[in-house]
Amino acid sequence: QVQLVESGGGSAQAGGSLRLSCGASGWTHRFNSMGWFRQVPGKEREGVAGILTSGGTIYYADSVKGRFTISLDNAKNTLYLQMNSLKPEDTAMYYCAAGRWRGAPFSTSAYDYWGQGTQVTVSS
pLDDT in tens, 34-43: 999 999 999 9
pLDDT band at residue 81, thresholds of 50, 70 and 90? very high
What φ, ψ does residue 62 adopt, rounded to 5°?
-55, -35
For residue 53, the SS3 value is: coil
Nearest-angstrom CA–CA distance, 98 and 33: 6
- Confidence band of 116 (pLDDT split at 50, 70, 90): very high
pLDDT at 117 exceeding the cut of 90: yes
Cβ atoms of 75 and 109 within 8 Å: the answer is no
